[in-house]
């Protein structure tokens, strides 16, 4: 997972669009949960430019940045620097492990929602469609 700073000027939007189109499996799974205001009506965006960084997911209502961490040392160092800068600017930053999002997306997001005082997702839905549980 590469942590490039986004380009400046008119190419920034094109770069963000390219990054969204080339999303990893974990990013697509997480986006399927975060989009459409499914967590306490909060709006999320993906591949949002904040300062010198292009973050994975951003919730402006909670000033919350969500980054996926693949566990590689280079990624961890880049995320540490990014997290330090974002928190110095007043953002909350959550780093989710890619494997957790792949294997247990809904419990991972519910844990995140509780940690940042957002309400749990009201129903259990698998990524394959609604389950029989209520």
Structural domains in the chain, sorted by start: 11-116 (3.40.960.10)
CB 86 within 8 Å of CB 58: no
pLDDT on residue 71:
81
pLDDT on residue 134:
40
The yes-or-no verdict on residue 98 having pLDDT over 70 is yes
At 23-74, the pLDDT tens digits run 788 888 999 888 887 777 788 999 888 988 889 999 998 899 999 988 888 7
> Which of 82, 77, 73 lies closest to 48, judged by CA?
82
The yes-or-no verdict on residue 20 having pLDDT over 70 is no
The residue with greater pLDDT, 104 or 124, is 104
Residue 126's pLDDT band, with cuts at 50, 70 and 90, is very low
The yes-or-no verdict on residue 112 having pLDDT over 80 is yes
Percent of the chain with pLDDT over 70: 71
Percent of the chain with pLDDT over 90: 30
| Burial track 20-39 (b if 16+ CB lie within 10 A, e otherwise) | eeebeebbebbbebbeeebb
């Amino acid at each position: 997972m590469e942590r490039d700073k986004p380009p400046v000027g008119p190419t920034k939007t094109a770069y963000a669009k390219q990054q969204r189109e080339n999303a990893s499996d974990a990013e697509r799974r997480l986006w399927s949960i975060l989009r459409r205001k499914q967590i306490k009506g909060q709006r999320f965006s993906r591949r949002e430019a904040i300062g010198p960084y292009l973050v994975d997911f951003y919730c402006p209502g909670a000033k919350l940045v969500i980054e996926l961490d693949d566990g590689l040392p280079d990624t961890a160092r880049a995320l540490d620097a990014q997290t330090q800068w974002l928190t110095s600017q007043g953002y909350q930053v959550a780093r989710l492990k890619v494997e957790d999002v792949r294997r247990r997306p809904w419990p991972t997001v519910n844990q995140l929602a509780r940690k940042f005082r957002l309400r749990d997702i009201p129903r259990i839905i698998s990524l394959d469609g609604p389950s029989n549980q209520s």
